[in-house]
Amino acid sequence: MKFTDEEILALFKRSDTKEKAFCMLLSAYQERLYYHVRRYVHNHEDANDILQNTCIKVWNAIDNFRADCALYSWLYRIAGNEAITFINKQKKRNEIDIEQSSAQYRSASDAIGADAMTQKLQRAIDTLPDKQKQVFIMRYYDEMPYEKMAEISETSVGALKASYHHAVKKIEEILTA
C-alpha cells in the first residue's frame, strides 16, 4: 500500500508513529535519493554515507518542514547540499595527499566497471563548480524538467538553463581535449 506525502507527514506529527512514518518516507524516496547522490561521488560507500547524513538531517528537521514545496523537492535539496558538503570536506582532506585520492578514485571507478568514457565524464563533472554540478546532475542524470529543478534549487528557469548550458559546454570541452 502506498501512502501520500500528506499521510506520511501526518504520521510524523505523532510521536508514537514517527518511526513508522520515517520508514515509509525512506521506502518511498530512498532509491531516487540514492541515485541522485551517487552521481556526485563515485562509489557506493560515499553515497551511503551521504544518504545516511541526509536521513538524519530529515529526521531532525521534519517538524520544521512547511508544505510550501513538495516533500520530494525538500528531500532532494537536503541530499544535494549534503553531497556538496561531503565532497568539499573530502577535497580538503585529500589536498594533503592528492596522489592517494586519485588512486582511490581510480580503484573506485574500476570497481563499478566504468569504461574510459564514463571515467572521463566523471572527472569532467568533478571539475564543475558546485552549482553547475548540481544543475548538470539534475538535468543529465535525473532527467528533471527545468520547472522542477527551479523548485528544488530555488533558482529561476532562465538561470538554470544558462547554468546547464555552461556545464555541458565545459564537459564537452574536457571530453574532446
Question: At residue 21, what are phi and psi to the nearest 5 degrees?
Answer: -60, -40
Residues 163, 160: Cα–Cα separation, whole Å: 5
22 binding another protein? (CB under 8 A): yes
Closest C-alpha among 62, 81, 47 to residue 15: 62
Residues 83, 137: Cα–Cα separation, whole Å: 12
Grid cell, residue 94, equals: 585529500
7 binding another protein? (CB under 8 A): no
Cβ atoms within 10 Å of 54's Cβ, excluding its own: 26
72 binding another protein? (CB under 8 A): no
19 binding another protein? (CB under 8 A): yes
Using alpha carbons, list the distances in angstroms from residue 59 to 34, 121, 176. Answer: 17, 34, 44
70 binding another protein? (CB under 8 A): no
37 binding another protein? (CB under 8 A): no
27 binding another protein? (CB under 8 A): yes
169 binding another protein? (CB under 8 A): yes
Residues 38, 148: Cα–Cα separation, whole Å: 20
What residue spans of the chain are helical by DSSP H?
Answer: 5-13, 18-38, 44-61, 71-94, 98-111, 116-126, 130-136, 146-153, 157-176
- Binding to another protein (CB under 8 A): which residues in 100-129? 111-115, 117-118, 121
15 binding another protein? (CB under 8 A): no
**From the list 10, 13, 56, 67, which residue makes contact with another protein (rule: CB under 8 A)?**
56
Which is nearer to another protein, 95 or 143 (by Cβ)? 143
The least distance separating another protein from the CB of residue 90, rounded to whole angstroms, comes to 19
The least distance separating another protein from the CB of residue 103, rounded to whole angstroms, comes to 20
* Count, residues near another protein per rule CB under 8 A: 37
38 binding another protein? (CB under 8 A): yes
Which is nearer to another protein, 72 or 140 (by Cβ)? 140
